Structure 1
Amino acid sequence: MPPVELSRSGTKMASLSGLRLIMDDIATTTGSATGTEWLNLGIGNPAAIPKVMDTWQRMTTEALVASFGNVSCRYGPSRGLPELVDAIADYFNKRYGWSIEPRNIVVGPGSQMLCFIAAALFTGAGATRDTRLVLPMTPDYTGYQGLSLTPGGVTGVEPVLHLQDDRSFRYLFDLPSLEGLTDVGLMLLSSPSNPAGRCASHDEIQRLVAAAHSHDVPLVVDNAYGAPFPAIGGPSTAPIRDEHVINVFSLSKAGLPGERLGFAIADEQHIDPIVSFLSNSALHAPQLVQSTLTHALRSDVLDMLVASVIGPFYAERRKFVESLLAETLPEDIAWHLHASEGGMFCWVWVDEEWFDDLRLYETLKRRGVFVVPGRHFFTDAEPSQSLGRHAQQCFRISITPDPDTIAAGVQVIASALDDMRAESIGISQ
């Protein structure tokens, strides 16, 4: 049979991003090589914290008993279950002093789907001009690069590199470059970010909001790792309420990634089109988990989990992994760790001419270890005038595997770096 002919947008969406190819390779390799002990430091799942899992299981069971017939055996409103929408409004109004109403809220099947809907609504071919989805700073979550139906519809602004000391660096926003763009339809960032764990400060968010006003476009802030839940990391910046801001929240990193539930809060001019898009596509988000979240918000259970379990777990785990890297990676190699305030990853930059992220990936794979190559988190991984080869010199380590797995994997990474350097010296001689 001849190959199926896809539309331009179909061809775009039917192709896997670079990182999805890597994740498929990890899944295929670990699934087919029987008897091999793999050390997977590339996973993006939240940690399996027993108390978190037990709490969600109990609350889901309670929702199942109390409301299964009403929520799982009937269709519901596209905006979300009314009781959940009301609970979200009450929660954010009480916590942050907002004055939002149900008309400011939409519940969707995961925060990534809500971001996809926003990109479809506010970018692409328009009545007067064509616009793109702009990431105000790369590297950022690689899934954002698949949100546009239009080839070339996503672009990112390169960061400014700031070395803090011999082993620590930080990305800074290049706001003049962002402000100078002419084809912005929507701005989107994660905070804390995936992969670097960078939290945008209140002042930085305010400057991004000002840029959104200047371009007259929405700014989507993806709070998947941030406040109020799961608030993974250090002090979390409270979400900012503004007429140009679409705040997106998720239950995934708070312990329910498989349930695909997220919600957005914004002005009606942005929420109403998202509700209509959901009605025309998915109809509504899964409703049993909506009922579960309603109870979690009303009873303060979610706040308790964040404050007493999730936050302390990730703070301790990050401290462990960062200390492990400092003690284990070769001292005479120019490696740097991004100064992180949150998230579930460590972001390592090896500032050596001989280093290449894909070469490290293949070297580690042969030794039974997986990390994630860094280039896929940049919209353009080619060498640039400002960053040089930086996008090809980074890799991501997850802090969610068990400590023994992380420790063993970091030992292999250290050995691989030594061998890659020695090989480069041998080639140059």
Structure 2
Amino acid sequence: MEDIATSMDASADRQWLNLGIGNPAAIPEVTATWQRMTAEALADSFHDTSCRYGPSRGLPRLVDAIVAYFNERYGWDIGPRNVVVGPGSQMLAFIAAALFTGADGDRDTKLVLPMSPDYTGYQGLSMTPGGIVGIEPVVATGGHDDRSFRYLFDLPALERQKDVGLLLVSTPGNPTGRCASPAEIHSLVAAAEDHDVPLMVDNAYGAPFPGIANPAAPPVRHERIVNCFSLSKAGLPGERLGFAIGEERHIDPIVSFLANCTLHAPQLVQSALARALETGALDTMVEKAISPFYARRRTFVESLLVESLPAGISWRMYAAEGGMFCWIWVDEDWFDDLRMYRVLKERGVFIVPGRHFFTDPEHSTGLGRHPRQCFRVSITADEATLAAGIEVIGQVLTDMHAGTSRVPANT
């Protein structure tokens, strides 16, 4: 992602087609609603939120709004001590990794990703070398003419894993858009119980917001689960706001960690979120704007990929149920994700190489070259950029297959 940003900044006069971007789409109705919520917070609570320190757990008004929202919507029985608000769900995941993994008596416990590939940001959550382990999935494909594939949890491998400190999974997943079913979540809970550790579930794309999933399975409440929620994909990525819900024994240490490292999350946006929850504005955004937009956009992008990627090569697209990306597997000996990235970059198109979503792509025991045969395409760019970029992707794959693509040096 740094290479994409620096390359675009260094050649600002060049027309780039960025299909690697992780930003959510700019949906006018969503932007307008957050502007209104923020303006109201600015007018009513600027002095109390921006001109004063606040509690590390989160603004009481927001914590109370979260408690009321989840109790009413899902029938949960949580209180304020089950909630912590932080500067983004990724920071909350980092804090959990720092608290629940690492030195533990005479051993070092690990952050374990039950499904690899998963979000690249998880790869830097451990301060201990070798402190993160990704469980490789079982790859399931359809018939010869079926261009789709899926990943299945390898639960026996997860059960065999030693020195576990914390399990962490995203659903819908980044990069695949794979949604863990309630039954699969309960299987992961059972694994967490066997290892006597927490299970952190990152709902950054899921229910109740932003609801970029089909079907949008509700989050699961369990004493082992720490559910994380983010406002980034609901339209506020730059404000860095997220929150977690779990048992007090898991939440209280996170509150203490926040108090010592950053004191509290930004408070003006906390006030805006409280209003959005209390008034139902956030639910309206999800139901009327966010969910329909991404459903339409996914259909559009998947149809472009089917039309543009060459029929004469063995490629498959992940059978995604949500998220903001398409995940492509090119099952050919000649294909390499970094090579494709470099060729596409020379032609003004960015994607994200797949290997970065695996914890040890060069030494896979069960997947072989698969981690180096995948790439991620964002569906959030405008339709013209998507159409032009995917056309170039198809051309590059054709050239790579024919052996006519040139790999640029020093890129």
1:282 aligns with 262
Shift of 1:425: 11
- Cα gap change, 1:34 to 1:99, in 2 (>3 Å): closer
Checking the alignment, whether the CA contact within 8 Å between 1:246 and 1:264 is kept in structure 2 is: yes
- Cα gap change, 1:425 to 1:377, in 2 (>3 Å): closer
1:397 aligns with 377
Gaps of 5+ in 1: 1-22
Is structure 2 residue 50 aligned with structure 1 residue 72?
A: yes
Is structure 2 residue 107 aligned with structure 1 residue 125?
A: no
Select which of 168, 185, 201 maps to 1:221.
201
2:281 aligns with 301
- Letter of the 1:323 counterpart: S
Shift of 1:399: 0.1
User: What TM-score do you get using the length of structure 2 for normalisation?
Assistant: 0.97
Is structure 2 residue 64 aligned with structure 1 residue 103?
A: no
2:217 aligns with 237
1:91 aligns with 69
User: What TM-score do you get using the length of structure 1 for normalisation?
Assistant: 0.93
2:394 aligns with 414
Quote the RMSD (CA, aligned, Å): 1.2
Select which of 296, 311, 316 maps to 1:316.
296
- Letter of the 2:283 counterpart: D
Distance 1:186 1:346 in 2: 28
* Superposition pairs of residues 243-282 of structure 1, within 5 angstroms: 243-282=223-262
Is structure 2 residue 163 aligned with structure 1 residue 203?
A: no
Checking the alignment, whether the CA contact within 8 Å between 2:177 and 2:326 is kept in structure 1 is: yes
Runs of 4+ aligned structure 1 residues displaced above 2 Å come to: none
Checking the alignment, whether the CA contact within 8 Å between 1:354 and 1:424 is kept in structure 2 is: no
Shift of 1:389: 0.2
- Cα gap change, 1:287 to 1:358, in 2 (>3 Å): same
Distance 2:351 2:31 in 1: 26
Distance 2:233 2:275 in 1: 18
Checking the alignment, whether the CA contact within 8 Å between 1:161 and 1:170 is kept in structure 2 is: yes
Distance 2:279 2:203 in 1: 22
Checking the alignment, whether the CA contact within 8 Å between 1:105 and 1:263 is kept in structure 2 is: yes
Is structure 2 residue 9 aligned with structure 1 residue 31?
A: yes
- Letter of the 2:85 counterpart: V
1:373 aligns with 353
Is structure 2 residue 140 aligned with structure 1 residue 174?
A: no
* Superposition pairs of residues 346-361 of structure 1, within 5 angstroms: 346-361=326-341
Distance 1:24 1:147 in 2: 18
Select which of 124, 133, 155 maps to 1:155.
133
Distance 1:369 1:162 in 2: 30
Checking the alignment, whether the CA contact within 8 Å between 2:399 and 2:405 is kept in structure 1 is: no
Shift of 1:182: 1.3
Distance 2:396 2:310 in 1: 10
Shift of 1:127: 2.1
Checking the alignment, whether the CA contact within 8 Å between 2:111 and 2:168 is kept in structure 1 is: yes
1:15 aligns with none
Shift of 1:424: 7.4
Checking the alignment, whether the CA contact within 8 Å between 1:42 and 1:398 is kept in structure 2 is: yes
Shift of 1:35: 2.4
Distance 2:227 2:213 in 1: 19
User: 1:297-344 CA distances to partner (integer Å, 9 max, x unpaired)?
Assistant: 000000000011000000000000001111111001100000000000
Distance 2:350 2:404 in 1: 22
Gaps of 5+ in 2: 407-411
Shift of 1:232: 0.3
Select which of 18, 25, 31 maps to 1:40.
18
1:363 aligns with 343
Checking the alignment, whether the CA contact within 8 Å between 2:179 and 2:321 is kept in structure 1 is: yes
Checking the alignment, whether the CA contact within 8 Å between 1:40 and 1:370 is kept in structure 2 is: yes
Is structure 2 residue 386 aligned with structure 1 residue 386?
A: no
2:409 aligns with none
Q: Work out the number of aligned pairs and report it.
A: 404
- Letter of the 2:91 counterpart: M
Distance 1:190 1:301 in 2: 25
1:18 aligns with none
Distance 1:383 1:125 in 2: 26
